[in-house]
Structure 1
Amino acid sequence: MTLTILGPLVAGGERLPLYSSHAQAGFPFPAADHVNKHTSFDDLFDIRAPHIYLVRIEGDSMQGAGIFCGDLVIVDRSLYAEHGDIVVASLNTEPVCKRLHMRGPDVILTSENPQYPPRYVLESDDLMIWGVVKHSIRAHENSPNRSER
């Protein structure tokens, strides 16, 4: 898996309309009279700069968690990583995005794809947690299924 760190997000983004009705698949656009309030990505994704940064994911090891190749993940470096969190980390200087498991003294980094075995972190390994993944963002216009139409 390859990660591309795109850098920190800055607070104070533009406020966009948030519609109060749910959009049904096939519904062309929400009506203007359903605008409930204006919000920003800062509010939606709980962005607390400078602790938040973006990472582009390469590879398929986290697809079971809904994180696919090319997705952006929003990572919060101010959170303490706990058992079960998806983290961005450095394992022996290799950047990884994995689920963190802590069982007694054992630390295990697992993929969300059965093709990849769990990685037990050994005493001789150098593990540095860079942050906890809070959200993922996917661009649908370039999805693999689009070319099949």
Structure 2
Amino acid sequence: MTSTYPLTAFEIKPVVITTETYHIPIALERVSAGFPSPAAEYMDGSIDLNKHLIKNKKSTFIVRVNSMSMRDAGISIDDELVVDRSVTAECGDIVIALINNEFTVKTLIIETLESDQQKVWLRAENPEFKSIYPRDNEDIEVWGVVTAVIKNVYKRRRKRS
């Protein structure tokens, strides 16, 4: 098992919404991930990515990931996470958390103990990485809930801005 503690998301950027709107066409047909099917040659409306990805623009930011600790949740290095601070985190949500002055992306786990106290910890979604169990003198501060993952699958990647 390899791990660095904590496993951080390395770049936080505010979301900037311009007055320009780009509507991207939506195909009527869904795309098969198995055997190909004949595709219809027309589009059905369009989608505004600002409205699609951002529910509360004043509380939304983007984080770029630099760890494979969330691999099994479909999150990889250089993925950009859309994070909303206005969403109340619940058990099982993928969150951006602050622990020991370091940011990390993990699955939030909240367990109720026999004493009716709650145990809060952060689960890594890759068995090669350790989950984070805060010590008695440590607090986990949830900064926001991940609401979307932006993944660049195009092989000729553009240079980072």
TM > 0.5: yes
Give the structure with the higher percent strand. Answer: 1
Query: Which TM-score tier does this pair reach, normalised by the shorter chain?
Result: 0.7 to 0.9
Q: 1:9 to 1:131 in 2, by over 3 A?
A: farther
Equivalent residue runs for 1:118-129 within 5 Å: 118-129=131-142
Q: Contact conserved, 1:11 with 1:48, CA < 8 A, in 2? A: no
Partners of 1:115 and 1:96 lie apart in 2 by 16
Count of aligned residue pairs for this structure pair: 140
Rounded to whole Å, the distance in 2 between the matches of 1:121 and 1:11 is 40
Aligned equivalents of 1:135, 1:22: Cα separation in 2: 20
Please name the residue that 2:14 is paired with. 7
The percentage of aligned residue pairs carrying the same residue is 28
On the 8 A contact 1:88/1:131 being kept in 2, the answer is yes
Distance 2:105 2:92 in 1: 13
- Counterparts in 2 of 1:83 and 1:75: CA distance versus 1, 3 Å: same
Do structure 1's residue 65 and structure 2's residue 78 form an aligned pair? no
Runs of 4 or more, structure 1, over 4 Å off, are 24-27
Letter in 2 for 1:121: P
- 1:142 Cα offset (Å): 3.8
- From 96, 101, 105, the counterpart of 1:97: 105
Aligned to 2:58: 50
Describe the superposition over 1:70-129 as per-residue Cα deviations: whole angstroms up to 9, x where unpaired: 101111110011111100011110110000001122111110001122211233113221
What's the offset of the Cα at 1:24? 4.3
Q: Secondary structure at the match of 1:121?
A: coil
Distance of 2:120 and 2:43 partners within structure 1 = 47
**Structure 2: any 5+ residue segments left out of the alignment?**
1-6, 113-117, 157-161
Deviates more, 1:58-67 or 1:45-54: 45-54
Q: Is the 8 A contact 2:56 2:86 kept in 1?
A: no
Deviations 1:122-148 (A, max 9, x none): 3311322110001111111248xxxxx
* Structure 2 partner of 1:141: 154
Q: CA deviation at 1:30?
A: 6.7
RMSD: 2.2
